[in-house]
Amino acid sequence: MQIGLVGKPSSGKSSFFKAATMIDVDIADYPFTTIKPNVGLGHVTKDCICKEFGVECNPNNSICEEGKRLIPVKLIDVAGLVPDAHLGKGMGNQFLDDLRQADCLIHIVDASGLTDAEGKVTKNHDPSEDIKFLEREIDLWFTEIIKRALEKYKRKRRVTKVDLLDILTDQLTGLGIVKGEIKEVMDKIDVKETQKFTSYLRKMSKPIIIAANKIDLPTSEENYKEMISNFPDLTIIPTSAAAEIALKTAEKKSLIKYQENKIEIIGDIEGKQKKGLEFIRENVLKRRDSTGIRKCLNTSVFDVLDYIAVYPVADANKLTDKKGNILPDTYLVKKGTKLKEFAFMIHSDIGEKFIGGLDARKKIKLGANYELKDNDVIEILTQN
């Protein structure tokens, strides 16, 4: 699972990345602070099933924190994108190739309106414009790739009988798009209508949600409301990456206890720092219910991409792996995934030796075509 962070310079992509991963990366108020992409792990959260089973779990690939499972997702923070990047402006859009494998994009928008289209300091910039331009640039990036495929098709067709679907599949696998998806779009839209075709394919393979960032600043509220009314079909989540960094840092130093929308001051803090935390408590946590960072990740994975969580175990009775760890792993899989496909995801060897599964709740056998359900706990049965 990979999520790409995109947006114009200085919108707060690296701040969002740091807030989600706690990896120290360069953050600054001038454009193009980031040039080479930052890659790291953030987490989505879900109620852990340890409570339901009345056990104490020993997570291995994930974390259990006070009854919540934290499941890792890969985040990629890239350079800022500016209008006409596809024509080489700013850093161009070559770096978008780093996002080829991303399943979903979070567009970090500077909701305050205090930076212009190129990330320079200004006043009264309309962030709704940023939403339009970014979608256009991402679509143009796709268009270039599809145009290349069409040219290749034309060249090859002169000498051999080639299938357009195969050529498109070949060119688009790098974007994580599979043949079935391309066929689905081809059945609906003629490839010659390249713009329409591209836009549809892009929405399907790289859906975008919006983080209305810097929501802590006073000028953000009105812009945020306008974005919501201008783009009723988009998912727009208010965020403050800066607040999340401040809270997580204070938590690390044992100055506060921090949970989702609550903080409790436990350390010895006074003056400016205390005021800062109180400001965040009143203006972000109470008003927005959270800093929005985790909400963006959860919404991307569970709502937009429609993934579910599945717990594979080696022993369905004891709920353990071979070493005796209870509920060790949580996998994120697309809704609709079949049991045998899941076996292959765990390990190709397990997939090849697959003979069936065992449901740990109902203690019944499951076949290869069983469609996985959210929070399933499954022992995969293999030939020796």
Confirm if 91 and 13 have CB atoms less than 8 A apart. no
The smaller minimum CB distance to Mg ion, of residues 95 and 142, is found at: 95
The smaller minimum CB distance to ligand GTP, of residues 121 and 355, is found at: 121
Note whether 38 binds Mg ion by CB under 5 A.
no
CA distance 130 to 122: 14
The smaller minimum CB distance to ligand GTP, of residues 12 and 312, is found at: 12
The smaller minimum CB distance to ligand GTP, of residues 119 and 328, is found at: 119
Which residues, 6 or more positions from 220, have their beta carbon under 8 angstroms from its beta carbon? Answer: 111, 112, 113, 212, 214, 238
Binding residue for ligand GTP (CB under 6 A) from 3, 4, 6, 10? 10
Note whether 12 binds ligand GTP by CB under 6 A.
yes
Nearest distance from residue 74's CB to ligand GTP, in Å? 17
Nearest distance from residue 33's CB to Mg ion, in Å? 5
The smaller minimum CB distance to Mg ion, of residues 169 and 213, is found at: 213
Binding residue for ligand GTP (CB under 6 A) from 14, 62, 199, 223? 14
Binding residue for ligand GTP (CB under 6 A) from 6, 13, 62, 99? 13
Note whether 199 binds Mg ion by CB under 5 A.
no
Note whether 9 binds ligand GTP by CB under 6 A.
yes
Nearest distance from residue 287's CB to ligand GTP, in Å? 14
Nearest distance from residue 347's CB to ligand GTP, in Å? 37
The smaller minimum CB distance to ligand GTP, of residues 42 and 328, is found at: 42
Q: Tokens 């490839």 appear where?
A: 191
Binding residue for ligand GTP (CB under 6 A) from 241, 293, 308, 378? 241
The smaller minimum CB distance to ligand GTP, of residues 31 and 328, is found at: 31
Contact window for Mg ion (CB under 5 A) among 8-16, 54-62, 233-241, 244-252: 8-16
Indicate which of Mg ion, ligand GTP, none lies near residue 42 (CB less than 5 to 8 Å, by partner kind): none
The smaller minimum CB distance to Mg ion, of residues 34 and 299, is found at: 34
CA distance 298 to 286: 20
Confirm if 31 and 59 have CB atoms less than 8 A apart. no
Closest CA to 369 of 338, 324, 332: 338
Note whether 246 binds ligand GTP by CB under 6 A.
no
Nearest distance from residue 38's CB to Mg ion, in Å? 8
Note whether 28 binds ligand GTP by CB under 6 A.
yes
Contact window for ligand GTP (CB under 6 A) among 45-53, 209-217, 272-280, 352-360: 209-217
Note whether 14 binds Mg ion by CB under 5 A.
yes
- Residues interacting with Mg ion, by CB under 5 A? 13-14, 33-34
- Residues interacting with ligand GTP, by CB under 6 A? 7, 9-15, 27-29, 31-34, 79-80, 119, 213-214, 216-217, 240-242
